[in-house]
Structures are given as C-alpha cells and as structure tokens.
C-alpha cells in the first residue's frame, strides 16, 4: 500500500514565524517570544482587534480556539487575556495576550469570530474582565445572582453561599456557607526542599537516637522457635494435608 504524504507536517516549525509576525504587527506589538514550543505575542490592549484581524487575514490563522484568563493580583493590570489561534492550512498555533485591570475593558473580537461571544463571557464570569462591544456579556458558567469571580486568586476557597435541595420548600435554596469544621491549612515539607522551620514534633528530638549496643538474637529460644514450639504447634494439627499423605508407587 502506498504511503500517504500530507501537505502539512505533524508539527509545523516556528522558524521565522515570530520575526514575520512582529514585522507585520509593528507598533501594536509589545513583545514576541517562544515559550514551550509556541509563539507568544503580547499586543497593546486597545489594538487587539486589529492585531487579530491581521493574523486571521494575512497569516491564515482562521480559527479562534480559546480565550483564557490569568490572574496576577500583585500587578496593577492583574489580568492576562490570552487568545489561542490555529491556522488549519499551515498547521500552526500562536498565542496572543493582552493585559487588563478590573476597570479597563478589552475590545471585543466578536466582530472577527462569532464564537468569541461565549469565550468572552467565560472570562468575564470567571475573572470579571470586561469586554467592550460585547452586547451579551452575561455570566455563563455560574448561577444567577452569583457573587464574585471564582478564578480570581483572592476568591475564598469556600465561596460565599452554598446550595441544597430543601424538602420543606421543594426547591433549591441558597444559604451562607457553614463548614462542619474550620478550613485547615496544611503545610507539608517538600520532598525536594527541606523546610526552614521546625515541623510540629521535631522540637522534641535533638538528634538521632543513640544505641550503645545493637540487639542481636543469639539462640532460637529468643525467637520463640525450636523443638518445643514445633511440638506445641503439632498438637492442634489433626492430620497432614492431602498433598503430604504418602502414596503408593503408580498412584
């Protein structure tokens, strides 16, 4: 059977891609680098729609596969909004990201890809990032009336409310979170890196235990084995197992 040769390689090369994209994007590009085998472009937030249009129309990145959010609370613009593009014809992927704060909207890209509407709603729901121009920016993953944005680093692990089905009211009810026990924080010592503090219990030991003379077994009597023990064990044995019974030759 003849082998099939595909027009696109299994993994397209990144050689020359960053340089070509950087030259085309020009002043709207803030940074370009290769991370983990993928090209990552950082563009100005106000120019994201123009940048993605160039990538779609001039470089054949036809599909918007995903929009993701990342939260860095220590930064003034704490959020990264990451767009993941795929070129079907070139078999190549590229990531484009912008930064945003809680009160700095990101221009919508629903004008380029209709599926961006739902993807932007996910980022808004999880992180609270606003998308200017999205006419349907509603929550999409959390429930109606949900408070906060659960993917933010400062969102409490327990949340604010819990829900359950009430047999009395025959409906789902919302109540303040009540834990059976306090949320405990566990701090385990890393197996690769020792802790720089004393773990609970370690303060009792000043060093390894010292043994003056190793304990050894000098005779069977010290182990509980021997003829006397064998006789006592045989008293409770009614008969040998079938496999140990003597058999005549030929049987």
In three-state secondary structure terms, 242 is helix
- Cβ atoms within 10 Å, residue 148: 13
Q: Among residues 144, 127, 81, 77, which one has the least CA distance to residue 108?
A: 81
Taking the CB of residue 87, how many other CB atoms lie within 10 A of it?
Answer: 18
Looking at residue 137, its pLDDT comes to 94
Asked whether residue 107 is assigned to any structural domain, the reply reads yes
CA 87 – CA 38 distance, rounded (Å): 13
Note whether residue 35 is domain-resident: yes
- Structural domains in the chain (count): 1
Q: Is residue 33 part of a domain?
A: yes
In a domain, 158, yes or no: no
> Above pLDDT 90, what percent of the chain?
53
* Each residue's pLDDT expressed in tens, for the chain with a length of 251 residues: 556 666 656 678 899 999 999 999 999 999 999 998 899 999 999 999 999 999 999 999 999 999 999 999 999 999 999 999 999 998 899 999 999 999 999 999 999 999 999 999 999 999 999 999 999 999 999 887 788 999 999 888 878 888 889 999 999 888 888 776 665 555 555 555 555 666 666 666 666 656 666 666 777 666 767 777 777 777 765 555 555 555 555 55
Task: Establish if 3 belongs to a structural domain.
Answer: no
Question: What is the SS3 assignment for 18?
Answer: helix
Across the chain, mean pLDDT equals 83
Strand partners, 171: 166
Could you tell me where the DSSP H helices lie in the chain? 17-25, 48-58, 116-127, 227-234
pLDDT of residue 176: 86
For residue 154, the number of C-alpha atoms closer than 13 Å in the C-beta half-sphere is 7
Q: Is residue 132 part of a domain?
A: yes
The reported pTM is 0.67
Would residue 104 count as lying in a domain?
A: yes
Token digits of residue 205: 């030991």
Per-residue model confidence as pLDDT tens digits over 171-216: 988 888 877 666 555 555 555 555 566 666 666 666 665 666 666 6
In a domain, 213, yes or no: no
Residue whose entry in the numeric block shows the structure tokens 């593009």: 85
Burial 101-127 (b: 16+ CB within 10 A, else e): eeebbbbbbbebbeebbebbbbbbbbb
Range of the domain at 72: 17-140
**How far apart are the C-alpha atoms of 244 and 19, rounded to whole Å?**
83
CATH of the domain at 52: 3.30.460.80
Say how far apart CA 174 and CA 162 lie, in whole Å.
6
């Amino acid at each position: 059977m003849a082998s099939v040769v595909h027009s696109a390689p299994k993994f397209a090369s990144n050689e020359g891609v960053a340089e070509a994209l950087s030259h085309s994007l020009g002043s709207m590009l803030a940074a370009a680098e290769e991370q983990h085998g993928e090209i990552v472009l950082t563009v100005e937030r106000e120019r994201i729609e123009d940048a993605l249009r160039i990538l779609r129309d001039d470089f054949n990145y036809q599909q918007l596969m995903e929009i993701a959010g990342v939260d860095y609370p220590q930064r003034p613009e704490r959020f990264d909004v990451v767009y993941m593009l795929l070129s079907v014809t070139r078999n190549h992927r590229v990531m484009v990201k912008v930064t945003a704060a809680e009160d700095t909207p990101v221009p919508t890209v629903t004008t380029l890809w209709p599926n961006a509407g739902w993807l932007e709603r996910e980022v808004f729901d999880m992180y609270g990032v606003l998308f200017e121009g999205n006419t349907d920016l509603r929550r999409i993953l959390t429930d109606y009336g949900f408070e906060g944005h659960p993917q933010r680093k400062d969102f409490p692990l327990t949340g604010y409310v819990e829900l359950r089905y009430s047999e009395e009211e025959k409906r789902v009810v919302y109540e303040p979170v009540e834990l059976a026990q306090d949320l405990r924080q566990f701090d385990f010592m890393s197996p690769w890196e020792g802790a720089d503090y004393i773990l609970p219990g370690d303060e009792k030991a000043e060093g390894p235990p010292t043994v003056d003379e190793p304990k050894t077994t000098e005779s069977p009597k010290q182990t509980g084995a021997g003829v006397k023990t064998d006789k006592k064990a045989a008293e409770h044995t009614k008969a040998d197992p079938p496999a140990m019974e003597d058999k005549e030759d030929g049987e």
